[in-house]
Amino acid sequence: MKVTIVGAGNVGASCADVISYRGIASEVVLLDIKEGFAEGKAMDLMQCATNTGFNTVITGVTNDYSKTANSNVVVITSGIPRKPGMTREELIGINAGIVKTVADNVLTHSPNAIIVVVSNPMDTMTYLTLKATGLPKNRVIGMGGALDSSRFRYYLSRALDKPSNDVSAMVIGGHGDTTMIPLTRLASYNGIPVSEFLSEEELAKVAAATMVGGATLTGLLGTSAWYAPGASVAYLVDSILNDQKKMIACSVMLDGEYGQSDICIGVPCIIGKNGIEEILDITLNDAEKEKFAKSAEAVINMNEDLKS
Ligand code: NAI
C-alpha cells in the first residue's frame, strides 16, 4: 500500500515516521516544494529502519508528482502553520491556494486516492478540496477530530489521574479553538461516565483546556504541534488502508446529518477502505445541538471567505 504525504514539514514527517514505524504502509512518498527538503527528511527517516526495525520504503521528492503515482491515500499537510497568537482561521488565504493546486496535482497521478486534508483551517480546506476536485464525499476526509479527541482524553486522564487509554471521549464540531465541542456528557472511564468522578466545574475546565490545546502548544513551541497531529493522521490512514472500520471524528461533507448540509465539519464516522464508510448521526441533547449549530455557522462563515 502506498501513501503520499504532501508537505514534508513537521506534521508530514512525523506522520511518515509513525506510518513506517508501525508498518501501516509499504511505501511512503514525501513531497515538498522546498528543494531537497523532502529528500532529506526521507533519508533521515530511512536511517531509522535498522534500529527500529521497519520495512517501509520512504522516498522524498521535490514537487515531482509523477513519483506519487497510484497512491492509495494522499495526505495534504502543505501550507503554513500557526504562529503564537494566530488563529487557524488566519491561514485561509495562503493555504487555500496551496491545497487546491496540490489536490489537482495528486489526482492527476492517483485518480483513485482517498485524500486526507490536514492543512488549516482544516474544515474549510476539506470543503475546498471536495468542491475543487468534484470527488465523491467518501473520498475526502478532514483530520482534526482524531487529534482533538486525543487531547481531550489526555486532559481527562490528567483530571482523573488515570491512563489515557482507559478514557474514551470524542470531540465533534469545527476544528477551531472556539468551534470544537468536547462531548463531556459521553466521556467515560472504562465505561463509567466521567461525571461519576469529576464535578461539573472540573469537566468544564477539561473542556476549556482541550479547546485551547493546540494554542497552548503553539505558545510553548513557537509553532504548531506535530507529534500528536502526525500520529493522529497515521491512525486515520491505518483505518483506511487496513479497512479497520474504526469510529473516528472526522470533518466530512454533511447532507442533512446533524441538521446541516453543504458543510464539512467534525462528526463521528466509520473509516475504512472506501474512506468514509458511514456517518454516525448520534442524538445530541439540546445544549449540544445548540453548540453544534453555532459551530457550523462559524465554519460556514469561514467557507464564505473562500469566495473573496
Ligand atoms: P511546516 O511549515 O512544518 O510544514 C509545511 C510544509 O509544507 C513545508 O515544508 C512547506 O515547504 C510545504 N509546502 C508549502 N507549500 C507547498 C506546496 N505548494 N507543495 C508542497 N509542499 C508545500 O508546517 P506543519 O507544522 O507541518 O503544519 C502543516 C499544516 O498542517 C499547517 O496548515 C497547520 O496549521 C496544519 N495542522 C493541522 C492540524 C490538524 O489537526 N488538522 C494539526 C497541526 C497542524
Sequence ranges of the domains in the chain: 2-143, 145-306
What one-letter code names the amino acid at 4?
Answer: T
CB atoms within 10 A of CB 294: 15
CB 82 within 8 A of CB 96: no
Residue 306, pLDDT above cutoff 70: yes
Query: In this predicted model, which residue has the larger pLDDT, 93 or 122?
Result: 122
Residue 308, pLDDT above cutoff 80: no
The catalytic residue among 175, 180, 211, 240 is: 175
Hey, is 245 helix, strand or coil? coil
CATH 3.40.50.720, applies to 2-143: yes
Beta-carbon contacts of 158 under 8 Å, excluding residues fewer than 6 positions away, are: none
Average pLDDT over residues 178-199: 98
The CATH code that applies to domain 145-306 is 3.90.110.10
Q: Measured from the CA of 224, which atom of ligand 1 is nearest?
A: 25
CA of 120 to the centre of ligand 1 (A): 8
Tens of pLDDT, residue by residue over 62-92, are 999 999 999 999 999 998 877 788 777 788 8
Mutate which of 6, 15, 78 for ligand 1? The one with the most ligand atoms within 8 Å of its CB, which is 78
Average pLDDT of the chain to the nearest whole number: 96
CB atoms within 10 A of CB 245: 13
What is the reported pTM? 0.97
pLDDT tier for residue 3 given thresholds of 50, 70 and 90 = very high
Ligand 1 pocket (Cβ < 6 Å) reads 6-12, 31-34, 37, 77-82, 91, 95, 98, 102, 118-120, 122, 143-144, 147, 175, 224, 226, 229
Tens of pLDDT, residue by residue over 45-55, are 999 999 999 99
Residue 175 is a catalytic residue: yes
Average pLDDT over residues 2-12: 98
- The values of phi and psi at residue 166, to 5°, are -90, 0
End-to-end CA distance of the chain: 39
CA of 201 to the centre of ligand 1 (A): 36
Nearest CA to ligand 1 atom 30: 119
CA of 262 to the centre of ligand 1 (A): 26
Average pLDDT over residues 118-132: 95
Tens of pLDDT, residue by residue over 233-270, are 999 999 999 999 999 999 999 999 999 999 999 999 99
- CA dihedral sign, ordered 76, 74, 108, 254: negative
Average pLDDT over residues 33-41: 98
Residue 302, pLDDT above cutoff 80: yes
Q: Per the structure block, which three cell numbers stand in for 152?
A: 481531550
CA of 8 to the centre of ligand 1 (A): 8
Which parts of the chain fold into alpha helices (H)?
A: 10-21, 37-46, 49-52, 92-109, 122-133, 145-160, 200-211, 213-221, 227-241, 286-304
